[in-house]
Homo-oligomer: A and B are copies of this chain.
């Protein structure tokens, strides 16, 4: 069966502001020092797929094309507006069925860092085999390494490489997370999915009939001159709902393959600690940094210089003329800064 990679790359990633901007979202950043996240995701997914589609936002398409020069133009799918993962996946599935022939979709986010690509490929191939019969929706779960409260969890049943999903659990409090970790039959929801394109469209018909009607309209216009026009007209009307809420939590016979391949959700500035080596004082310094009597901090300078003295647990990011400073334990609050800038109509900094 033909295998199609689908990289969901339409998000904004405000928590990496000021590095991530509207026109330069997280997936177009080089956070590891090796390559842009989207390029790393593409290379990785190439290990297990025949061809790869990138679904992105119209605001990012030019930058995306510039970054992904070897990707065929018809493999970059442009969402007229952001309508969450259900619309994104439904659109990609319809595109595949109508233009390229039914096959297995391997869907991944664009903003996770994975250390061990070979192990990633091994796990994904197991998951792909489990999805090939067209009777199962398959997801890849991440073996938890700490009682994370920032991720959704998947409760599993059974043993072995491929297991049955008992339930999806929302982000837990820390006690619940610790219990999940202790019980051992929970994995983190990675947002990676594997299924046949025709299978997921059947699930849309069953669980998201309104979206399915929209997808049918879009599908009918495909390969006609009206295609872009219909997409632009229909897409913004689609209900914004995640594939987890919309289909995964309602569907039965979902399988999960637990994986351990050095996965990190690169969600916020403190995650640079996972991507870069710390110095002898547990500081991460990307770019030109002089840190005196400073420990446990994260510095990112695009150019110029960051000079820090007597700091502990502080994140400082300098990108062009913008400086962001916050405590490491509060990196999630970078979002508040983005909100404050919106409120103050300081759009030029977003």
Q: Is A318 an interface residue (CB 8 A)?
A: yes
A317 to B311, CA, bound (A): 14
- Residue interface bits A295-328, CB-to-B below 8 A is 1, else 0: 0000001011111111100101010111111110
Q: Is A333 an interface residue (CB 8 A)?
A: yes
Say whether A323 contacts B309, CB under 8 Å: no
Q: Which of A95-132 contact B (CB under 8 A)?
A: none
Q: How far is the CB of A350 from chain B (nearest CB, A)?
A: 11
A322 to B145, CA, bound (A): 38
Q: Which residues of B contact A321 (CB under 8 A)?
A: 303-305, 318
Say whether A309 contacts B336, CB under 8 Å: yes
Q: Which residues of B contact A304 (CB under 8 A)?
A: 320-323
Say whether B305 contacts A322, CB under 8 Å: yes
- Residue interface bits A269-311, CB-to-B below 8 A is 1, else 0: 0000000000000000000001011000000010111111111
The 8 Å CB contact of A308, one of B293, B325, B349, is: B325
A320 to B307, CA, bound (A): 13
Q: Which residues of B contact A311 (CB under 8 A)?
A: 325-327
Complex: chain B residue closest to A319, CB-CB: B304
Say whether A344 contacts B301, CB under 8 Å: no
Count how many chain A residues have C-beta atoms less than 8 Å from C-beta atoms of the other chain.
36
Say whether A323 contacts B318, CB under 8 Å: yes
A3 to B334, CA, bound (A): 58
Q: Which of A303, A336, A337, A344 has the most CB of B within 10 A?
A: A337
Say whether B290 contacts A340, CB under 8 Å: yes
Say whether A316 contacts B310, CB under 8 Å: no
A307 to B334, CA, bound (A): 9
Say whether A310 contacts B333, CB under 8 Å: yes
A346 to B311, CA, bound (A): 21
- Residue interface bits A46-59, CB-to-B below 8 A is 1, else 0: 00000000000000
Q: Which residues of B contact A292 (CB under 8 A)?
A: 333, 336-337, 340
List the interface of chain A (C-beta within 8 A of B).
17-18, 290, 292-293, 301, 303-311, 314, 316, 318, 320-327, 330, 333-334, 336-337, 340-341, 344, 346, 349
Extra 7 A-B pairs, beta carbons < 8 Å, given A305-B322, A308-B325: A303-B321, A304-B322, A305-B346, A307-B340, A316-B316, A316-B325, A318-B323
Q: Would you mind naming 24 contact pairs between A and B with Cβ atoms under 8 Å apart? A: A17-B307, A18-B307, A290-B344, A292-B333, A292-B340, A293-B333, A304-B323, A305-B321, A305-B346, A306-B323, A307-B325, A307-B337, A308-B324, A308-B326, A309-B324, A309-B325, A309-B326, A310-B330, A310-B333, A311-B326, A318-B318, A318-B323, A323-B323, A325-B325
